[in-house]
Structure 1
Amino acid sequence: MVYDFERTQRIAVIGGGPGGYEAALAGAQLGAQVTLIERIGVGGSAVITDVVPSKSLIATAEATTAIRAANELGVQFFTKAEGSGRPVKPEVAVNLGAVNKRLLGMAHAQSEDMRANLLEAGVKIIDGNGRLDGRDAVIASTEAGGTGADFDRIEADTVVVSVGASPRILDTAAPDGERILTWTQLYNLKAIPEHLIVVGSGVTGAEFASAYRALGSTVTLISSRDQVLPGEDADAAAVIEKVFKRGGMTVLNKSRAESVVRAGDGVIATLSDGRTVEGSHALIAVGSIPNTAGLGLEDAGVQMSETGHIRVNRVARTSVPNIYAAGDCTNFLPLASVASMQGRTAIYHAMGDAVNPTELRNVAANVFTQPEIATVGWSQREIEEGLVRGEIYKLPLAQNPRAKMMGIKDGFVKLFASIGSGTVIGGVIVAPKASELIFPLALAVEHRLTVDQVAEAFAVYPSLVGSITDAAKALHRVD
C-alpha cells in the first residue's frame, strides 16, 4: 500500500488494552484520524479483570503479612479490654467483599481515566466488537458477539489488532464462577476461601497462591513440574517455594490435575496418580489463549502461529504491511509493558516516525509473589548453556544492612556480566518490591553499562539497592 501523506492518515485499533490504548494515543498525537473499538472498556482485561485488580489484591495481602510480622520488629499489640497489659498476637481479619469492591472500583476509575485521555486527544471510541473486513477496513459491531447487523465499516490505512487473551479453559475443570474459578472470576468472592486449590504453578498461579495464603486461606498448589515457577530463575523459584512451604502452603510438585469437579459446597481435584485433594474453591491457572478467533485475520492474509497468536516482528508489524498487532494476542512476551511499547512502536513505524525496534532481551519482568522476583536480560540458564559468555555473582539479601533493619531474611541480588568487557547483560532480584529495584539493572542492560560504571554510581546507605552496587563491585576485573 502506498500512503498519501497529503491527507490525514486513518488508523483503526481493535482492542483498547495497553497496546491498543498506546497505539490510539500515539496516532492521535501524530495527527492521525483514530478510531478505537473496545468491547469491555478502555484498558481492556489488563485494567478491568487482570493486572490492576490482581496487583491491588496482592497489595492487600502484603499489608496483612506486614501486620503479622510486626512483632519481629518490636511492634506489639495489646487488647485494652482485657486490661492485662500483655502483648497479644494480632488476629488479622480480611473483609474480602470490601477488598474486591475497592479494587474493582479502582480498575473502573483507571479505565475511565484512560478513556478520558483518548477522548481529549481526539480518538473516536466505539463500544463494541471489531473484526477485519479485508486488509483496509474494520467492521465495528455494537451487538453481542460482533456478528449482528448493527455495525459500522471503518476504512483504514493502518490497522492495529490488540485483543489480548483469555484464561485457558479445561474440559475436565470447567469454571462455574462460584467454586471453580478463573483468575477473572475471583473478584466475585464475598469471603476468603477456606481452602483454595490452585491448579498451575506458573506466574499467575504462584501470585494468587501467595496472595490468598497471606489473606488467610489454606492453600494447596498443584504443580506439574519439579518446582514452582518453572520458567523463572531456578534459585529465585527455590526461594519462593521455600517461603511458600514455611508459610504453611502445601505444594504438590510433579503432580498433574486430571480433573476438578464440584462436590456440594466444595471441590475435589483428582490427580493423575489417583490422589485427590478436597477444598472449598479451586483456581484454574493453566495459561491463556489469544482472543484472535473470528477476527478475519486469516482471510486478510495475516500469518498466525499454531497456538492462534499473531506473528509480528520487532516493530509489531504482521505479514500484511499495513496491519500491526500488539499485546498478548501476539507471539511476543505477554506483559502489559511490552504491549504498550508494541502499540506505540507500531504507530511510529506506520506513520514514518523514528522508531526503535523492541528488544525483548531488555524487557524487565516481575512476579508479584512475596517476595517478588524481577528479571532482565540474559538468564543464568542461557549462560550455563553457552548461549552467551558471562560471569555470575549472587549476593544474599540477608547481608544487606537495610534488609536486616527491615527484617528481610529471604532473597538475593544476582548480576550477570559479559566476560572480558564487564558489560551488564542481565540480572535477577528476589526481594520485597523487586519490581522497583530492577530498574537500575534494566538501565544498565539497555545502555550497555559495565559493572564498573554501575559500581561508580552512589547508592544511598543503607538501602536495598546498595546490594546492586555491591554485586557490581564484586565483578570488577583488573586489567
Structure 2
Amino acid sequence: MAFDYDLFVIGGGSGGVRAARVAAGEAGAKVALAESSRYGGTCVIRGCVPKKLMVFASEYAPMVADARAYGWEIDARGFDWPAFRGKLEAELDRLEDIYRKLLAGSGVETFDQRARLVDPHTVELADGTRKTARHILLAMGGWPVKPEMENAEHAITSNEVFHLETLPQSMLIVGGGYIACEFAGIFNGLGVEVTQYYRGAQVLRGFDDEARGLVSEEMQQAGVDLHLGTNVIAMEKREGGIWVKATNGTERVFDQVLFATGRAPNTADMGLEDAGVTLGRRGEVVVDEYSQTSVPSIYAIGDVTDRLNLTPVAIREGMAFVETVFRGNPTPVDHVCVPTAIFTQPEMGTVGLSEEDAREQGPIEVYCTSFRPMQTSFAGRPDRVLMKLVVCAETRRVLGCHIVAPGAGEMIQLAGIAVKMGATKEDFDRTVAVHPTMSEEIVTMRAPVRKA
C-alpha cells in the first residue's frame, strides 16, 4: 500500500516537533504534523518558558531590599503587569515562529488543525481531509483538569494564568504539586496576597520529605498563607470576586482562584480506542519501552503517555522513536535518574531516589546540611538552604541528590551527571570544593546525619 507520508505526527509540542524535524531533516522521511493550537505546546506556550520568565520577574522584589543592605540606594516603584505581559506574549510569539520555521526548514508539512485517528494508518483532519501514513506518532500532551464541583468554571488553570488582564490583589491557589507551589511563589513575589489550599499533609508529594518540608517552610516565611489538609467545598461568583468555603470552615472572597489540581493526557475524542490503541486508567496511551502502542504502526511520546511528564524527557522519547523506527536502531527510553528542577522559591533540584524510596531498597546513609547562605544572610534575611546526599551503605553509590536553594536547578544539572554515572560518596569527597559557594557543601559533608 502506498502511503501519503512515512510519518504523521499529531501534536506540535516539544516532543512531536523534535521527532518530526529529525525524522524529516536527518532520516529523510516524508513527514506531516498537525497541531490545533499553537506550536511549542505546553512548555513553550503554557508552561516552562512563560512560567520561568514569571519566576524571574517575581524574584526582583527581595533583590531591592538586599541591594540596600549591600549599600545601594535603590527605589522600586512597583510591578507593571501589563508591561510585563506584553513582553511575555511577544516572546512566546517569537518562539512559536521559531518552531514553525524549524519544521518548514526540515521539510515537514504542517496542518494547523485538529487531527484524530481513523485506523492504524489513517488520520482525519478537522476539515474532513484524510491522510495516510506508514507510522503515526501521538504527541498531544496533557491538559489541566479542574475538580468536578459546582461553579468550577469561575476558576482558572495554569493555561489561563499567563493571560490575566490585571494582576489580582488576592488569589487562592488550590493544589500542592509543583505547578501550584511555583505559582504561589510567583504571585506572592509579584505582590499578590496568596493563599494556598492543599488537601494533603505536605506539599510536593513524591519528592524527598526533608527537601519539600524546607520548601514549605520557606514559602510560608516569604508570605504564602499555606493551609495543609484543606480543600475547597463550595465556591460561587459574588460581587467583589469569588467566594470560597473551605473544609477548615473558613469563608472568604478572592479576586482570583487558580486550580492546580492535576493534568490529564489529551486523549479524549481522538479515535484512539476505535483504532485499537490501549488506554490506561487515567486515559494515558499505554506504550512499551520503545514508545510503541498496542497498534504496531502507532507510537506515542510525551505527557500523553503519562510516564515522566517533563519536556526534556518528551524530546528524548522523540529522538529514541526516530532512532528505533527510521534508523533501524531499537532504542529504549531511559527514565532512570532524570534530574529535574522545581521553580519554587526557593528552588528545588533533585535527581535519583528520595531518602524514603532509597530506604525501601536497602541500608542507606544520609548526608545533609541546612544553613543560611552568605548572600542573603549578610542582607539580614533568614532564608535557609539544604544540600542532601542519599548513599547506598553497601556500594557507597550516591542514590539521590537533593538541593533546596537559589539556583538549585543549575546545580542539579551538573550533580545529575555524577549521579547518573554512578559516582560514589568517596568520588564526591575527592572533589575539591569551590569556595565560597553554597554548592561546596555537596563535597564537604563527611559524617552521615543518620543511617537507615
Q: Deviation of residue 439 (structure 1)?
A: 1.5
Instruction: Write out aligned runs for 1:21-32 (5 A).
Output: 21-28=17-24, 29-32=26-29
Q: Distance in 1 between matches of 2:143 and 2:175?
A: 15
Answer yes or no: is the 8 Å Cα contact 2:324–2:331 preserved in 1: no
Answer yes or no: is the 8 Å Cα contact 1:8–1:31 preserved in 2: no
Q: Could you tell me which residue of structure 1 aligns to residue 145 of structure 2?
A: 168
Q: Distance in 1 between matches of 2:71 and 2:278?
A: 60
- Indicate yes or no: 2:443 matched with 1:469: yes
Q: Could you tell me which residue of structure 1 aligns to residue 58 of structure 2?
A: 61
Answer yes or no: is the 8 Å Cα contact 1:423–1:450 preserved in 2: yes
Listed one character per residue, the Cα deviations across residues 109-138 of structure 1 (whole Å, up to 9, x for unaligned) are 111112111111111111111111211122
In structure 2, relative to structure 1, the CA distance for the partners of 1:73 and 1:402 (3 Å cut) is closer
Q: Deviation of residue 404 (structure 1)?
A: 5.5
How many residues in Structure 1 have an aligned counterpart in Structure 2? 446
1:153 aligned partner, one-letter code: R
Q: Distance in 1 between matches of 2:316 and 2:378?
A: 38
Q: Could you tell me which residue of structure 2 aligns to residue 146 of structure 1?
A: none
Answer yes or no: is the 8 Å Cα contact 2:122–2:130 preserved in 1: yes
Q: Could you tell me which residue of structure 2 aligns to residue 37 of structure 1?
A: 34
- From 151, 172, 196, give the equivalent of 1:221: 196
Q: Distance in 2 between matches of 1:273 and 1:411?
A: 31
Q: Could you tell me which residue of structure 2 aligns to residue 51 of structure 1?
A: 48
Q: Could you tell me which residue of structure 2 aligns to residue 75 of structure 1?
A: 72
- Indicate yes or no: 2:117 matched with 1:132: yes
Q: Deviation of residue 45 (structure 1)?
A: 2.6
Q: Could you tell me which residue of structure 2 aligns to residue 415 of structure 1?
A: 389
Q: Compare 232-241 and 219-228 and name the one that shifted more.
A: 232-241
Q: Could you tell me which residue of structure 1 aligns to residue 369 of structure 2?
A: 395
Answer yes or no: is the 8 Å Cα contact 1:97–1:189 preserved in 2: no
- From 275, 279, 300, give the equivalent of 2:250: 275
Q: Could you tell me which residue of structure 1 aligns to residue 241 of structure 2?
A: 266
Q: Please, what is the CA RMSD of the aligned residues?
A: 2.4
Q: Distance in 2 between matches of 1:15 and 1:459?
A: 45
Q: Compare 131-140 and 388-397 and name the one that shifted more.
A: 388-397
Q: Could you tell me which residue of structure 1 aligns to residue 84 of structure 2?
A: 99
Q: Distance in 2 between matches of 1:61 and 1:401?
A: 21
Q: Deviation of residue 441 (structure 1)?
A: 2.1
Q: Deviation of residue 63 (structure 1)?
A: 1.9
In structure 2, relative to structure 1, the CA distance for the partners of 1:403 and 1:467 (3 Å cut) is farther
Answer yes or no: is the 8 Å Cα contact 2:4–2:131 preserved in 1: no
Answer yes or no: is the 8 Å Cα contact 2:433–2:444 preserved in 1: no
Q: Distance in 2 between matches of 1:317 and 1:67?
A: 52
Q: Distance in 2 between matches of 1:344 and 1:227?
A: 36
Instruction: Write out aligned runs for 1:194-343 (5 A).
Output: 194-343=169-318
Q: Deviation of residue 275 (structure 1)?
A: 2.5
In structure 2, relative to structure 1, the CA distance for the partners of 1:260 and 1:361 (3 Å cut) is farther
Q: Deviation of residue 17 (structure 1)?
A: 0.6
Listed one character per residue, the Cα deviations across residues 246-269 of structure 1 (whole Å, up to 9, x for unaligned) are 222211111111122211121111
Instruction: Write out aligned runs for 1:370-389 (5 A).
Output: 370-384=345-359, 386-389=360-363
Q: Deviation of residue 389 (structure 1)?
A: 3.7
- Indicate yes or no: 2:340 matched with 1:365: yes
What secondary structure does 1:427 align onto?
A: strand
Q: Distance in 2 between matches of 1:296 and 1:394?
A: 50
Q: Distance in 2 between matches of 1:76 and 1:405?
A: 17
In structure 2, relative to structure 1, the CA distance for the partners of 1:70 and 1:190 (3 Å cut) is farther
Answer yes or no: is the 8 Å Cα contact 1:167–1:183 preserved in 2: yes
In structure 2, relative to structure 1, the CA distance for the partners of 1:74 and 1:317 (3 Å cut) is farther
Q: Compare 453-462 and 387-396 and name the one that shifted more.
A: 453-462
Q: Deviation of residue 440 (structure 1)?
A: 2.2
Q: Could you tell me which residue of structure 1 aligns to residue 134 of structure 2?
A: 157
Q: Distance in 2 between matches of 1:155 and 1:458?
A: 58
Q: Distance in 2 between matches of 1:270 and 1:121?
A: 53
Answer yes or no: is the 8 Å Cα contact 2:5–2:132 preserved in 1: no
2:302 aligned partner, one-letter code: G
What secondary structure does 1:237 align onto?
A: helix
Q: Distance in 2 between matches of 1:322 and 1:74?
A: 65
Q: Deviation of residue 395 (structure 1)?
A: 2.1
Identity of aligned residues (%): 28
Q: Deviation of residue 412 (structure 1)?
A: 1.0
Listed one character per residue, the Cα deviations across residues 286-313 of structure 1 (whole Å, up to 9, x for unaligned) are 1112210111111122111111011122
- From 400, 408, 419, give the equivalent of 1:426: 400
Listed one character per residue, the Cα deviations across residues 5-58 of structure 1 (whole Å, up to 9, x for unaligned) are xx9970110001111011112212111111111111221132112222122111
Q: Deviation of residue 239 (structure 1)?
A: 1.4
In structure 2, relative to structure 1, the CA distance for the partners of 1:75 and 1:232 (3 Å cut) is farther
Q: Give the TM-score normalised by structure 1.
A: 0.87
Answer yes or no: is the 8 Å Cα contact 1:20–1:343 preserved in 2: yes
What secondary structure does 2:125 align onto?
A: strand
Q: Could you tell me which residue of structure 1 aligns to residue 100 of structure 2?
A: 115
Q: Distance in 2 between matches of 1:19 and 1:330?
A: 12
Q: Deviation of residue 353 (structure 1)?
A: 4.2
1:351 aligned partner, one-letter code: F
1:243 aligned partner, one-letter code: E
Answer yes or no: is the 8 Å Cα contact 2:208–2:355 preserved in 1: yes
- Indicate yes or no: 2:434 matched with 1:443: no
Q: Deviation of residue 189 (structure 1)?
A: 1.9
- Indicate yes or no: 2:159 matched with 1:184: yes
1:371 aligned partner, one-letter code: P
- From 312, 328, 347, give the equivalent of 2:322: 347
Answer yes or no: is the 8 Å Cα contact 2:4–2:133 preserved in 1: no
Unaligned segments of structure 2, at least 5 residues = none
Q: Compare 207-216 and 113-122 and name the one that shifted more.
A: 113-122
Q: Give the TM-score normalised by structure 2.
A: 0.92
Answer yes or no: is the 8 Å Cα contact 1:402–1:464 preserved in 2: no
Answer yes or no: is the 8 Å Cα contact 1:96–1:189 preserved in 2: no
What secondary structure does 1:209 align onto?
A: helix
Unaligned segments of structure 1, at least 5 residues = 78-89, 142-149
